[in-house]
Structures are given as C-alpha cells and as structure tokens.
C-alpha cells in the first residue's frame, strides 16, 4: 500500500524515512482526479459572494468568482452544474429577492466546518430552481438507518412558505432522523427525478428498500423511474383522510360505514380478504360507480395495509412521522423570515434531536 513516513530527528528537523509507491488499487487518470469527492471541497479563499446579488443569482457568475480565487470549476464545494442537470423550462415558483446569493454563501461557509454536500439545479434561464443538501451526520445516519425513508412534502402545500422537502427516517430507538433536505421550486417530474438521483449520488449509491410518500401522480412516476426496484408505499393515513372527504355524504344516516371503510384500509391480510371486504362495502352502500374508489382500488397494493405487512417499514406506516417536525419549521419557512433564520432554527431542531438520541 502506498505510504510516506516522515520522522522528526534529534535536531528537530523532519526527514522522509520510508516511501512506498505501490498502490493497492487502480489509480485514477489525471483527467479524472477532479471528479473525486475529495476534490470537491472549498478552500477558505473561495468563500466569497459579495458583489453578486439579485433574487435569481446565476450560479455561473459565482462560479467564475470562485474560479478566480481557486481555479477549476469542478473543485467547488457544490456539485458542478452542467447542461444535463438543467431543466428545459423556467421554474414554477420564484425565490425571494436576494435569496439565491444568501443560500450559496450559507452552504459554502458550512462546508468549511462540515464536509457536507449541496447540489443546485438550474432552469432554462440559468436561474437556481432546486437545491439539495446533506451534512456529514445525515450521511452517516442514512448509512446506518436508511432502509426506510419517508419523503416529506407537506410544506409544498403552503403557498406562503418556501418549498421545503425532507428525506426522513427513524433510528433503532424509533426516533426521527433527517437524512437530507431540499428546496424544490419546481414540482415537475424532471425536478423530482433530479432530486432522487442527487439523493442517491450523495448517499454513495445506496438506495432505500422502502420509501413512503403522500399520494401524488407526478411523484409516483418519478419514483418508479429512479427507484424501480424498491417498495413505494403511499401513506395509508393520507389516503384515508382523502376518503373521508370524498365520501363525506356517506356518513349521514349510516353509523356502520366508517367502520367498514376503516376495515378496508387498516385490517385484513392478503389480496383475497381485502377484495372481499372492499366488494362487500361497495355492495352494501351502492358505491360501485364511485370513480374515486375505483381509482383507489387500482392503486390498492401501494397503500392498503393488507398488501404491506410483508414489507419492512421500520414500523412506519404513515408520513405522520414528519408532522411535528414540519410544524416546528413552518413559521420559519414563511417568506417573512430571512432564509438564514430558517437554517438557524433547523440546526437547533437537529441538534436537539441528536442530543436526545
């Protein structure tokens, strides 16, 4: 194995006492060295963003500034942005004025203290549209406990908040852990695919065995494309809440309907018992023509407990796991708060969780 031994001599000087040039692995070609993870760290001189402002700061401008201080663009602390990662259209939502610059400066300064990863995606106008990040602890936690991941998209429902998303799981004490997070200003299938591929890259290629999400057709298509071999479970509680809204009229004058509906969602084991109970409910309440129930039946294997008992979910059946976490962040995700206030609050929450675990 290649090594260099330097010893301090009696006169206080240092001398090379042993050198072994043979490596126990193939060497990376010189032209590929810049792609190594070790080469994607920031130098102190690179952390400058002053003079580059505006609500939609173009990363290539900051890239040029960094290169003037430190050289090759591929040596930045963030993943190089190329045409393959760009959206072919303009993002759906805009950032607050000046926020792109502050986000870049925040992540770049964080990398000096913590070997973390952050990745940015541009839209057709070369504006930052999606951002992913994970610090060293998140990566280690995922390596240990990342078999089951809840993808929390709750904040995208709040139009007064920044579009914060998180990959969340639990440890061996069933305590919540955050594996990574993102701001997704575009909610198209292309953006979700980029996010999931970036997640895999940051996690050194390790994919979860099971991912739990809310019900969303675009999200489901992206997961099927990027994670074709893993179990995708739709939050049964999320579907059940939709059912209560869709079938609200059925509760009037029927005390038994809620019990029969709940039985289909949360009881039974296997295909035949579920179908018998489902068809019995449709017969009893004249619901054979209900289009929403018809669609839910086609997707039953993704949400019904009857089809998920054999799948390892770390006792997680619902993205409700994330509700308290999301609720504690919502205030700071509002556009009235500076983005750095959000990160300060997020850091406090994560540190408190670390202390408890």
pLDDT at residue 76 greater than cutoff 50? no
| 340 within domain boundaries | yes
* 231, 245: one domain: no
Q: Residue 316 pLDDT > 90, yes or no?
A: no
**Mean model confidence pLDDT for the chain:** 76
Q: Both 91 and 188 in a single domain?
A: yes
- Pairwise pLDDT comparison (69 vs 88), residue with the higher score: 88
In a domain, residue 90? The reply is: yes
210 and 278 housed in the same domain: no
Residue 249: inside a domain: yes
Whether 180 and 201 share a structural domain: yes
Instruction: Tell me the C-alpha to C-alpha distance, in Å, between residue 229 and each of 209, 219, 234, 303.
Output: 8, 16, 16, 17
H-type helices in the chain, by residue range?
Answer: 59-70, 99-113, 136-145, 189-202, 217-226, 236-246, 257-266, 271-285, 291-298, 300-303, 323-333, 339-356
**Same domain membership, residue 90 and residue 63:** yes
Least-confidence region, from 10-14, 114-118, 291-295, 319-323: 319-323
Q: Which of 34-38, 187-191, 298-302, 319-323 has the lowest mean pLDDT?
A: 34-38
Q: Give the whole-angstrom CA distance, residue 68 versus residue 53.
A: 18
Same-domain status, 78 and 201: yes
149 has which bridge partners?
A: 211
Beta carbons within 10 angstroms of residue 273's beta carbon: 13
Mark whether 186 and 329 lie in a shared domain. yes
Q: How many domains does the chain have?
A: 3
Q: What is the pLDDT of residues 39-75, one digit of tens each?
A: 443 333 233 333 333 334 343 433 333 333 333 434 3
| 228 plus 254 within the same structural domain | no
| Assigned domain for 221 exists | yes
Does 94 reside within a domain?
A: yes
Containing domain of residue 22, as a range? 3-39
Q: Are strands 3-8 and 128-134 parallel, antiparallel or unpaired?
A: unpaired
Same domain, 188 and 302: no
pLDDT of residue 77: 40
**What is d(CA 106, CA 131) in angstroms, rounded to the nearest whole number?**
12
Bin 158: left if φ > 0, else alpha if -120 < ψ < 50, else beta.
beta
313 occurs within a structural domain: no
On whether residue 312 sits in a domain, the answer given is no
Query: Per residue in 114-146, pLDDT tens?
Result: 666 777 777 666 677 788 989 889 999 999 999
Are 347 and 282 members of one domain?
no
- Residue 341 and residue 92: Cα distance in Å, rounded? 24
Is position 337 within any domain? Answer: yes
Residues 58 and 138 in one domain: yes
Whole-Å CA distances, 322 to 112, 151, 213, 318: 30, 9, 11, 9
Shared domain for 204 and 281, answered yes or no, is no
């Amino acid at each position: 194995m290649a090594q260099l031994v330097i010893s301090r001599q009696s006169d206080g000087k240092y001398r090379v006492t042993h050198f072994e040039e043979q490596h126990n692995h193939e060497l990376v070609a010189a032209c590929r060295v810049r792609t190594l993870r070790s080469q994607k760290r920031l130098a102190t001189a690179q952390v400058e963003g002053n003079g580059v402002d505006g609500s939609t700061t173009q990363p290539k401008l900051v890239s040029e500034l960094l290169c003037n201080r430190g050289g090759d663009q591929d040596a930045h602390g963030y993943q190089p942005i190329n045409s393959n990662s760009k959206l072919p259209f303009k993002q759906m939502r805009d950032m607050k004025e000046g926020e792109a610059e502050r986000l870049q400066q925040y992540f770049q300064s964080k990398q000096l203290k913590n070997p973390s990863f952050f990745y940015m995606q541009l839209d057709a106008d070369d504006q930052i549209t999606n951002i992913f990040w994970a610090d060293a602890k998140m990566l280690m936690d995922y390596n240990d406990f990342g078999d089951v991941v809840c993808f929390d998209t709750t904040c995208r429902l709040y139009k007064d908040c920044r579009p914060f998303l998180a990959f969340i799981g639990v440890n061996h004490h069933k305590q919540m852990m955050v594996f990574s997070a993102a701001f997704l200003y575009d909610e198209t299938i292309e953006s979700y695919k980029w996010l999931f591929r970036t997640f895999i890259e940051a996690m050194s290629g390790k994919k979860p065995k099971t991912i739990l999400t809310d019900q969303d057709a675009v999200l489901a298509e992206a997961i099927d494309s990027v994670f074709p071999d893993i179990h995708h479970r739709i939050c049964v509680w999320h579907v059940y809440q939709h059912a209560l809204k869709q079938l609200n009229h059925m509760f009037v004058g029927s005390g038994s309907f809620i019990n029969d509906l709940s039985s289909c969602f949360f009881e039974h084991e296997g295909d035949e018992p579920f179908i018998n109970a489902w068809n019995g409910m449709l017969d009893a309440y004249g619901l054979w023509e209900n289009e929403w129930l018809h669609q839910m039946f086609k997707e039953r294997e993704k949400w019904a407990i009857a089809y998920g008992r054999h799948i390892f979910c770390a006792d997680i059946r619902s993205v409700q796991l994330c509700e308290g976490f999301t609720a504690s962040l919502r205030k700071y995700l509002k556009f009235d708060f500076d983005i750095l206030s959000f990160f300060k609050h997020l850091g406090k929450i994560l540190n408190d969780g670390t202390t408890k675990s």
